[in-house]
Amino acid sequence: MANISFQCLPFDQLTLRQLYDILALRIDVFVVEQNCPFHDADRKDFVAWHCVGYDTEGDLVAYTRLFDVDLSFEGFTSIGRVATSQKVRGQGAGQKLMTFSIEQCQKLYGTHPIKIGAQKYLLRFYESFGFQSTGEEYLEDGIPHVIMIRPA
């Protein structure tokens, strides 16, 4: 089981090192690994809270960003840009990350349903946290996604 220390910070409290680490991890996972060139700097980072998970060696190995009601989906809070480093995959890092992210979402924004746009191949992973597929599927940058909601 990966030993990860988590923090959740608003954009303006991120250090330059943390911001660099976040962008590097998101590029590694979403652009390089998934061979999916897209404009990651979507300006939504400014209004998000950022969950960062560092391992004992000081490497960022887990990340999400959280949004208050109506900022990403109308009527819902949201968790996005869910990423884990290859370094910790298969060691429970994703489970720890999602558990922490859901807790932080509720702590920051109260008890609201959480809506996500999940990559379809991760449907079962998100279902294990109480997310339910709406059946609404779409392609984002050539990758099949499905809208999922975790009831309040």
Q: CA-CA distance, 34 to 1, in Å (whole number)?
A: 25
**What DSSP line would sit under 13-54, residue for residue?**
G--HHHHHHHHHHHIIIIIIITT-------S-GGGSEEEEEE
Percent of the chain with pLDDT over 90: 88
Domains and CATH numbers, the chain: 4-111 (3.40.630.30)
> Average of pLDDT values for 93-101?
97
Measured at the alpha carbon of residue 94, what is the angle toward residues 89 and 99, in degrees to the nearest 5?
160
**What DSSP line would sit under 64-82, residue for residue?**
EEEE-TTTSBTTBEEEEEE
Q: CA-CA distance, 30 to 12, in Å (whole number)?
A: 24
Q: Is the pLDDT of residue 142 over 90?
A: no
What confidence tier does 1 reach under pLDDT thresholds 50, 70, 90? low
pLDDT at residue 78 in the model: 98
- What does the pLDDT look like over 24-82, one tens digit per residue? 999 999 989 988 888 888 999 999 999 999 999 999 999 999 999 999 999 999 999 99
Q: CA-CA distance, 12 to 104, in Å (whole number)?
A: 17
